[in-house]
Amino acid sequence: MKVLIDPIAGKSAQIIETLMASEDMVDDPALQFKLRLCIEEVVENIVNYAYENGNGYVEVGTEIKGDNLYITFRDSGIQFNPLAKDDPDITLSAEDREIGGLGIFLCKQMMDDISYEYKDGCNNLTMIKKIG
């Protein structure tokens, strides 16, 4: 599946549900929970930060290759590698923990692979989850 959403302003929920309704989506509720969580984290980042006022597009896709589900995001917004940020220190006390920075960390932990590439003026993020 490949779907283009343009413009993306205010369309987080629609983008998330589009991916969750893909014919490639798994049936297992526990796995769906993880995928939804990771999708939401990425979609929120793109909708809120990729473009000024969300005035741009995102192309989202799903594909099954072998035992793996690939979920892809492409936007032509501000160049931003979400994976470059340091992971939060999860051993700190509540007082020392910062509010935020958890979304991409959760994706890294829950997916089997996550990769980023800036190519032809576009941010490309690919998440892979073993489903077989």
Partner 1 sequence: MNVTINQEENKFNVVLEGRLDTTNADQFQKDIEPLMTGEKPDITLDCTAMEYTSSQGLRMFLMLQKSVNSRGGSMVMTNMNPQVKEVFDITGFSNIIKII
Q: Footprint of partner 1 on this chain (CB under 8 A)?
A: 12-13, 30, 33-34, 36-37, 40-41, 44, 88, 90-95, 97, 99-100, 102-103, 105-106, 109-110
Q: Which is nearer to partner 1, 55 or 101 (CB)?
A: 101
Residue appearing with tokens 């597009």: 57
In one-letter notation, the amino acid at residue 11 is: K
How far apart are CB 66 and partner 1 at their closest, in Å?
26
Question: CA-CA distance, 57 to 116, in Å (whole number)?
Answer: 18
Q: Which is nearer to partner 1, 48 or 55 (CB)?
A: 48
Token readout for 49 is 């930060």
Give first-to-last CA distance, the chain, whole Å.
19
Q: Which is nearer to partner 1, 66 or 93 (CB)?
A: 93
